[in-house]
A and B are shown apart, each in its own frame.
Chain A
């Protein structure tokens, strides 16, 4: 016999269900006056935030080609210089005027999520190799049993993308394109495909 590790097990995930908006974006869900009418994660930047303002939008698309109209999408990203606004950030101080975290429901009418944020700086892997600028996405919805993690890369960062250790490390290299947004009318567009020929790469982080 050896000593016991005495570890607990992570609580099992359950779907966020079709009513996730009540708890996470109550004003969007029509609960007037909850939390002073401000849904958490709506505002990522203030007027003093440093860096280039960008807008991004997209849809989450199921295996039949339909847009999810009841999903919730969160993003987490570095500031303009590559630091995260988090007590867990040990490398340096992030811009206090940029939260780095955003949350958006997909609209019932269009199925679109939308974020107003800034272009992130580059962040190193633990081995020191620099990653291309990217935005971490996390998707929950009815029918998704465990929240899905993926990444959005930028179409105008061809050189950085070509040396990104995550994009270049994919076994199926042709799938890297599922992680690169397109640029349409000045907005980045990132569609997430849950299934099908162009299924988005999802990560076990």
Chain B
């Protein structure tokens, strides 16, 4: 397992603001109705099991793991669609970059179709696109991936619900209490405000935090448009007085 360079703090994690995240029961997103716990979560102060988490070294990565345009394509071929680079940093709530964070991503192809047995959408599979990638953040918490912009697609919820273009992210922090799965949306997508899954998030401000910004400065001319997407994980307390026994 990997060693870590930045260690901003070693105390307990900042409490999670559950009013900022989607509540469990959001009936407009119908799948939550039978899958949402009804009783209150039990608060648990952090012990070693929550403060620690698995770490992953760069040795697990293949050369093209973060290149979805090529990592499932035949030699010499590439995926069909708008070529995009996604760049950003993984930060904690103090704004400190976190290195060594494993990011895993998955997405539909340019037509809005997933390479999955359960997806029967009309749009065709792209034989050169798998829709799966991963990377590990570098010393300042930065990462990037190359992919094609995923298409929007209809899904069985309301009679005419469509997902905006999005990329799923799975994120490991320093501790298992930071474990997070979220989705990245694209600036200017008119489907964002219509989506029942986006609408599970209570505030506009929190939704805006998931919308990647067009970044023309980092766009590669004649090659790929860049979107910037930062991810924020829970911060940690840094006081040395944490849980010190009286008299010590």
Tell me the A residues contacting B by CB distance below 8 Å.
6-24, 26, 29-31, 34-36, 40, 62-64, 66, 68, 70, 74, 76-78, 84-91, 96, 99-101, 108, 123-127, 131, 134, 136, 138, 140-149, 166, 170-171, 194-195, 199-205
Distance to closest chain B CB from A166 (angstroms): 7
* Chain B residues within an 8 Å CB radius of A89: 48, 52
Total residues of chain B contacting the partner, CB 8 A: 93
Q: Is the CB of A22 within 8 A of B49?
A: no
Q: Is the CB of A18 within 8 A of B49?
A: no
Q: Is the CB of B232 within 8 A of A88?
A: no
User: Nearest 10 A-B pairs (CB), nearest first?
Assistant: A23-B106, A143-B31, A143-B35, A101-B54, A86-B52, A145-B22, A204-B41, A84-B52, A63-B34, A22-B106
Distance to closest chain B CB from A88 (angstroms): 4
C-alpha spacing A140/B35, complex, angstroms = 10
B201 contacts partner chain A, Cβ-Cβ < 8 Å: yes
C-alpha spacing A140/B179, complex, angstroms = 11
B45 contacts partner chain A, Cβ-Cβ < 8 Å: yes
Binds A, one of B75-83, B91-99, B186-194, B220-228: B91-99
C-alpha spacing A199/B31, complex, angstroms = 18
Q: Is the CB of A12 within 8 A of B182?
A: yes
* Chain A residues within an 8 Å CB radius of B55: 86-87
Distance to closest chain B CB from A117 (angstroms): 13
Q: Is the CB of A145 within 8 A of B231?
A: no
Q: Assess A78 versus B71: contact at CB under 8 Å? Given A10-B93, A31-B132.
A: no
Q: Is the CB of A31 within 8 A of B21?
A: no
> What is the predominant secondary structure among interface residues of chain A facing chain B?
loop
Q: Is the CB of A10 within 8 A of B116?
A: no
Q: Assess A9 versus B17: contact at CB under 8 Å? Given A88-B174, A136-B176.
A: yes
* Chain A residues within an 8 Å CB radius of B51: 88
Distance to closest chain A CB from B187 (angstroms): 16
Q: Is the CB of A203 within 8 A of B41?
A: yes
Q: Is the CB of A194 within 8 A of B4?
A: no
Q: Assess A23 versus B46: contact at CB under 8 Å? Given A13-B21, A147-B181.
A: no
Chain B residue with the shortest CB-CB distance to A143: B31
Q: Is the CB of A145 within 8 A of B37?
A: no
13 contacts between A and B (CB under 8 A): A11-B210, A19-B168, A20-B106, A23-B133, A23-B168, A34-B130, A34-B132, A74-B179, A99-B1, A146-B18, A195-B35, A203-B44, A205-B176
